[in-house]
Structure 1
């Protein structure tokens, strides 16, 4: 790119900066989900409060990423793949901010469980569900940044396992509540945690879909089992 026009170099410098911002957002969102689940499992109120207070940083990163993408759309008027990336980046930044909101919801559940001082049913599947959701989020960002349609599709398929775990947790906690009325309040909190983790996986799936759109120029929402056509060579620049 040594002989590229200055405007072209500037655009790709800005593009690299935007990609890094999205990666920073993803890393922060993943860490907040991890910390919120740690707070829940360890009944650690301080960790839960740290998650709640850190959400403002993710909100700020979303605004910065969105503003940059909009400015690049307005000033550079990109075409084809670059245009798809910028449109996708706006959606991805919003999804990552929402991941932070779900981490806050989990942290708030942890705070309430600590304050209630009641016995909490053991749900070992929650830790694995959180691990799977975080892995999906990491993979989906990698897929979007690299324009890897195959990895984006794999994220969508992995969502089925998280949905199945959520259903299993629901059935287990329902049985606990039917057997012991005193477990109803804490069980409802754990159901809310499971639901929030399931939503994190859904948001990762959204980002995976955006990665496929970036790579192939095709919207595939709710159709991960379909084979996408190969884009024309004129649309790959």
Structure 2
């Protein structure tokens, strides 16, 4: 029984690792769609969310089954519970990639001449860097680095605050392309939200490794 329990825990971690690898690829494909103006890539990402939903639901079922049937010790229970919550964050990141691809496709179908504003790529890469760091922290159980993911989120928030007025100015200067610039505003917001989910993953790593929850020793959970 113990061997089966340990095997299942290892399988869950392997499954999450595969999921994260796929999600990192999708984040890169979303980036390519946006900045290379690749409509086919945008449509592929937009329509690919179901595969993540199915994959995540399967891992969640396995996680819950162990929690309910195996009576895990406290540290294992925290790991299982934290993983379950991380899976929820990964699901939202996948959803946001699909949503961003939807808006990218709309922009390209409407008028591909309307390019991403200056600074947009920097914000996407800041968001992507944060997510990759949070993924590594989870997979490696690195609670020390997880403490500082919020600092990266501050950078993404600053990008948002800097870019939003630029987009507002573009809308005023180019009223014929208002719809596309509004979609860029929505993309901006989705990038900010996606980074927030990466920050949450870092927070759950701290819970799993240090048993810290919101309010504990100044630790906050967004």
| Alignment match of 1:101 (pick from 83, 88, 95) | 95
| Alignment match of 2:18 (pick from 7, 17, 24) | 24
- Map Cα deviations across residues 145-173 of structure 1 (whole Å, 9 max, x no partner): 33322111111221000011111111111
Larger Rg: 1 or 2?
Answer: 1
Structure 1 9/201 Cα, relative in aligned 2: closer, same or farther at 3 Å? same
> What is the TM-score when the length of structure 2 is the normalising length?
0.91
Q: Which runs of 5+ in 2 are unaligned?
A: none
CA distance in 1, matches of 2:25, 2:39: 17
Aligned to 2:157: 163
How far off its partner does 1:96 sit? 0.7
Aligned to 1:232: none
Q: Which runs of 5+ in 1 are unaligned?
A: 1-6, 229-237
Q: Say if 2:101 is the partner of 1:78.
A: no
CA distance in 2, matches of 1:144, 1:39: 27
How far off its partner does 1:227 sit? 6.9
Aligned to 2:58: 64
Runs of 4+ in 1 over 6 A off after TM superposition: none
CA distance in 2, matches of 1:40, 1:187: 13
- Map Cα deviations across residues 11-45 of structure 1 (whole Å, 9 max, x no partner): 22211111121122222222222212211222221
- Map Cα deviations across residues 109-158 of structure 1 (whole Å, 9 max, x no partner): 11111111263144242222222222222221222233322111111221
> What is the TM-score when the length of structure 1 is the normalising length?
0.86
Assess if the C-alpha contact under 8 Å between 1:140 and 1:207 holds in 2: yes
CA distance in 1, matches of 2:77, 2:173: 56
Aligned residues: 220
Structure 1 121/173 Cα, relative in aligned 2: closer, same or farther at 3 Å? farther
Structure 1 80/147 Cα, relative in aligned 2: closer, same or farther at 3 Å? farther
Aligned to 1:190: 184
CA distance in 1, matches of 2:116, 2:101: 17
Q: Say if 2:122 is the partner of 1:128.
A: yes
- Map Cα deviations across residues 75-101 of structure 1 (whole Å, 9 max, x no partner): 211122210110111111111111111
**Cα root mean square deviation, aligned:** 2.0
Q: Say if 2:199 is the partner of 1:205.
A: yes
How far off its partner does 1:206 sit? 0.7
CA distance in 1, matches of 2:72, 2:139: 17
